[in-house]
Amino acid sequence: MSTSLRLFFALWPDDASRRALAAEAENLAPRCGGYPLPAENLHITLAFLGSVDASRLTPLLELTQTWPALESVWTLDRLGHFPQPRIVWAGGAAAPALSALYEALWSRLSSHGFKPPHRAFTPHVSLVRQATRPASRSSLATSIQWRFDHLALVASARGESGSRYRTLARSRAPQAHDFD
């Protein structure tokens, strides 16, 4: 009997961005009627694959581990609300590097039989779930400069206390340059 994993590709925030986003989520949750996502779960989903048969995992691990090193910044400066599935999120204009990464990833995933979503890419970080109303403001109090340096293949498992994420593979980190 074959097993399946619930998979997605994500970018994880650097520590400073994670702290700032977690603080924003804590402040917003009481005002939006939902609950803040745990700091360790804050991420940008680049490609949600859903339930994937374990037999398809090896090529996805290889794709991730051989991905070129990343090094870019995304500025988050606004708040938004998806009425369904009741999410308050932080986002900003898509940085060219972020959009290029999204397109390149889906191009590679297509060669493995995965279909990109039909909707436009809206880069965002979910902050509050089960939000009964949007944030009372449309921008973050202070913009956040999120530095991203690796792509991650992540397995998600639902539990009583919410989703738990486990990184299965990650791309290479940028190499320090020798300036001698």
Catalytic residue ranges: 43, 124
- Report the distance separating Cα 124 and Cα 74, nearest Å: 10
Q: How far apart are CA 147 and CA 43, in angstroms?
A: 12
Q: Are 60 and 47 in contact (CB under 8 A)?
A: no
Cα–chain center distance at 178: 31
Region of residue 88 (phi > 0: left; psi between -120 and 50: alpha; otherwise: beta): beta
| Secondary structure of 108-167 in HEC code, one letter for each residue | HHHCCCCCCCCCCCCCEEEEEECCCCCCCCCEEEEEEEEEECCCEEEEEEEECCEEEEEE
Pick from 9, 35, 2: which is nearest to 107 by CA?
A: 9
3-state secondary structure of 11: strand
